[in-house]
Amino acid sequence: MTQAHALARAPFDRTLLLVVPAAAFMLLLFIYPFLYGLGLSFEPKEGGALGNYSHFFTTDNLWPTIWTTLRLALPATLINVGLALPIAYKMRIKTRYQRWITTILVVPITLGTVLIAEGALTYFGPKGWLSQTLQLSHIYDGPIRLTHNYWGVLISLVISGFPFAFLLILSYITGIDPVLARAAATLGADPAAQFRHIYLPLLAPGLAMCFCLAFVQAFSVFPSAVLLGSPAGPTRVISIAAYEAAFEQYDYSLASAIAMIMGFVQLLIVAAVLGLRNLFYRGPVVGGKG
Amino acid sequence: MKHDFQALRLDAVTRRFAGAGGKAFNALQELTLTIKRGEFIALLGPSGCGKSTALNCIAGLLPLSGGSIWLDATRIDTLPPEKRGFGMVFQNYALFPHMSVERNVGFGLRMRGAAGSEIARRVGRALKLVQLIGQEHKLPGQLSGGQQQRVAIARAIVIEPPLILMDEPLSNLDAKLRLETRSEIRRIHRELGRSTVYVTHDQDEALSLADRIVVMKDGVVQQIASPQEVYGEPANLAVARFMGYRNVLDMAIEAQNGDRVTLAAGNIRLIGARKQALVGERASVAIRPEEIALGEGPGGENTIAGHVDNVEYCGRDSLIDVMTPSGTRLHVRAPTHIALGESVHVHVPVERALVYADESA
Ligand SMILES: Nc1ncnc2c1ncn2[C@@H]1O[C@H](COP(=O)(O)OP(=O)(O)OP(=O)(O)O)[C@@H](O)[C@H]1O
Ligand SMILES: [Mg+2]
C-alpha cells in the first residue's frame, strides 16, 4: 500500500528507462524502414505520387495476388484455429498422455518452412508415400496432385501454422477455471452446453487474437508458395509479386508499394477481427474470490 | 432427473487423494448418512477436514474412491452432475465472469429450457430474496465479495433443486447480513421443503440452521446428532473441543460410581459425568466456559479456588481466566466485572463436567 502511494507520487519512475533500448530497437528496425518504404512507394519510376498504386491495381498479374493470397491465408487460418480448438479443449485436462500429445503436435514448429516444404514434396508428391499407399490399397485410384498447386501450399500452411495456433489456444483454455464448467454442470449444462456457454464465450477474445496472429503469419507466405505451389499461377501470392518487383525488375519503389498494400490488407482483416472481439467479455477469467 | 425424493443415502462414501510424497490419504472416509426429504443437514468441522470433498462427492463433481450414493432406490454416484440436478453454492462462488448477475442466476433455468417470461419472473424473485435488486446488469467482477456470494446463492436456489448443497455460503458477509441471510436460507429451506446440506466451520451457524449436524475431523465423521445433542453431549473430546468446551483438563481417575467419575489433579477434585468408556487411570474433563459459575462460597463439592489472571471484556459478559494454585488455567465466561489478581472460587456443575477417555490413551 505504502509502496503504491510512493509510486503514485514519484515524479518519474526510473524503471521506465528500461523501455529505451526496446523503443530504440523498434524505431531503428521497424518504424524507420516502414516510413522509408512508405516514402519510397510514393516515388515511382514514372507517373505521379500514386503511380505505383494505380499500376498495381490496373495490372493483371498484380492486383489478383491479393485475392490469391487471401484464398490461401484465410482457409489455412480457419483450418488451423478450427482444428486447434477442439484438440486443445480435449487436452485441457491433465492426463498421462497430455504431455506426449502436446509434444508431438508442437514438433512442426521447430521445423523451418523450407524443411516442411521438402518433406511435403516427398510425402505428398505424385511418387510420395501418401499417393502410393492410396493407390496400392485401391482407396483412390485417380492421379493425386497435392504438390505444385494450391493444395500443396495450403497443406504446408496448415502444418507450419497449426502448432502455433494449438499452443496459443491451449494456454487460453488452461487459463479458464474448470470450476466454472462444474458450476454449469450442477445447473444442468451437459458437456456440449458447458463448452458453448462457458468455454466458448470466454475463449472468444483469445480465439480472435490467435486468428489474427495465424492469419498474419499465413498471409506473408513465401517459401512454400514457391516450393510447393505453382508460383507462376494459382499460388502467385502477393509476396512473390513484391519479390519479383524488387529483385527481378529492380523496381524498389513498386516493391515498397506492394509491401504497403500487403500490410494494409492484413491490417483490414486484423482490425475487423479485433473489432468483433470487442463484442465479447475480456476481463479476468475467474469465478470469484481466490 | 426426477425432482423429488424421499431419502438420499450415502453409503460408506470415501474419497482418496494423492497426498504429499505420492502417498494416498482419505480426505473423506466412509461417510454414511441418510438425508431425508426436507431435512437440513450441517457438515461441521475445522478447515481441511473434508467438508468440501463430501459436498463435491454428493454433487458429482468428484468421483468416489469407495462407497455409493443412492437416491431412493436409484444409484446415482456414477451419474454426471448435470444428471443429478442438485443445486450447489460453491465455496469460491464460481460465478460466470462473462454473464451479468441476471444471466448468471437465470443460467440453470435456461439450461432447463424455461420460457423467457418464466425465467425473468423467477430470477427477479430470487434476486429480491438475496437483496440484489438494482444489480441485475452488473458483471460479477463489479460486485463486492458479499454480493457475489449472494448471486451464487440465488443462482442455486432459483432452480428449486430437490437437494441444495451449500459450501460456506455466508463466509464473506458482514455480521448483520450474515444473520439476515442465515434466516433467509432457513426460510427458503422451509418454504421449498427441499433438503439442504450446508457446510460450515461456524458452530453457531450449524446450531441455528440444522436439523442434524455431522461433525467431521480429518475426513472421519465424529458425531451425527441433533444440534442440542452435539452442543450438550459431544460424542468425544474432538467434538467437545470444536463445540466450545474450552476447558479440557487431564486428570487422574479416583473413583467411578455409575456414570459419575471422581477425578483429581493437583489440588483440584472434580466429580463429572462419564460420556465414554474409560480405560487406564487417567481421563479428560471438558467444561464450557459459560457453564462454570464464578464466586460460589468455598468448601462445596466441585469448587475450585484460584485468582483472576486475565479478563477480556466481551460486551454482555467477560471472559475470565482463573489460575489455580497448582497452575491450571480455567476459562470462565461470566456477566461479572472483576479485577485482575482477585481471589475467586469457581463452581462446576457435576452434570456439565463431561468425562472422556484420556486423549493420549
Ligand atoms: N484435489 C485435491 N488433491 C489433493 N488433495 C486435496 C484435493 N482437494 C482437497 N484435498 C485435501 O483434502 C482435504 C480436505 O479438503 P476439503 O477441501 O474437503 O476441506 P474443507 O473441509 O472443505 O476445508 P475448508 O473449510 O478449509 O474449506 C484437505 O487436506 C485437502 O488438502
Ligand atoms: Mg471447503
Q: Summarize pLDDT for B327-350 with one digit per residue, the tens.
A: 899 999 998 888 888 999 999 999
- Which of A198, A280, A289 is opposite residue B96, by nearest beta carbon? A198
Distance (Å, whole) CA A277 – CA B155: 28
pLDDT 10s digits, B264-297: 998 889 999 999 988 889 999 999 999 999 875 6
Local structure of A106: helix, strand or coil: helix
**Residue B196, SS3 per DSSP:** strand
* CA B137 to ligand 2 centroid distance, Å: 29
Domains of chain B plus CATH, in order, are 7-238 (3.40.50.300), 245-357 (2.40.50.140)
Number of other residues whose CB lies within 10 A of the CB of residue B206: 26
User: Given phi > 0 = left and psi -120 to 50 = alpha, else beta, which region is A131?
Assistant: alpha
**Grid coordinates of A39:** 516514402
**What DSSP line would sit under A10-31, residue for residue?**
-S--GGGGGHHHHHHHHIIIII
Distance CA A241, CA A56 (A): 10
Q: Is 90 exceeded by the pLDDT of residue A109?
A: no
Helix (H, G, I), strand (E, B) or coil at A251: coil
CB A131 within 8 A of CB A144: yes
C-beta atoms of A188 and B141 within 8 A: no
Q: Minimal Cα–Cα distance from A212 to chain B, Å?
A: 22
CA distance A182 to chain B (A): 7
Q: What is the ipTM of this complex?
A: 0.83
pLDDT band at residue A202 using 50, 70 and 90 as cut-offs: very high
Backbone angles phi, psi at B226, to 5 degrees: -70, 160
Among A190, A281, A287, beta carbon nearest to B95 = A287
B225 vs A147 pLDDT, higher one? B225
Q: Which residues contact A200 (CB under 8 A, 6 or more apart)?
A: none
In Å, how far is A139's CA from the nearest CA of chain B? Answer: 41
Cell numbers linked to A148: 505444385
Question: Quick check: helix, strand or coil at residue A174?
Answer: helix
Cβ–Cβ gap A288/B88 under 8 Å: no
Strands B7-18 and B268-274: unpaired
Task: Please give the pLDDT value at position B215.
Answer: 96
Q: Is the dihedral of CA A46, A47, A53, A56 positive or negative?
A: negative
The position carrying cell 446428532 is B225
A52-73: per-residue pLDDT in tens? Answer: 899 999 988 889 999 999 999 9
| pLDDT given at position A1 | 45
Q: Residue A280: closest CA among chain B residues belongs to which residue?
A: B98
Vertex A224 angle, CA A218 and A225, to 5°? 80
Quick one: pLDDT at residue A279?
83
Per-residue pLDDT averaged across A219-224, rounded?
A: 85
Q: Which pLDDT value is given to residue B307?
A: 92
pLDDT above 70 as % of chain A: 94
CB of A58 closer than 8 Å to CB of A140: no
Residue in A closest to B159 by C-alpha: A187
- What digits encode the pLDDT tens for the residues B201-249? 999 999 999 999 999 999 999 999 999 999 999 999 999 999 999 999 9
Kindly state whether B306 is in contact with chain A, defined as any CB-CB distance less than 8 angstroms. no
- Cβ contacts (< 8 Å) between B108 and chain A: which residues? 187-188
B74-75 sheet: strands from edge to edge: B74-75, B66-71, B7-18, B24-36, B220-225, B212-217, B40-44, B195-200, B163-167, B87-89
- Residue-wise pLDDT for B105-159, tens only, equals 999 999 999 999 999 999 999 999 888 999 999 999 999 888 898 999 999 999 9
Give nearest CA residue, ligand 1 atom 7.
B17
Query: What single-letter amino acid sits at B312?
Result: E
For residue B164, what is its C-alpha cell? Answer: 441444495
**For B49-92, what is each residue's pLDDT tens digit?**
999 999 999 999 999 999 999 999 999 999 999 999 899 999 88
Predicted confidence band of residue B1 (pLDDT cuts 50, 70, 90)? very low
| Protein residue with its CA nearest to atom 4 in ligand 1 | B17
Cα-to-centroid distance, B62 and ligand 2 (Å): 13
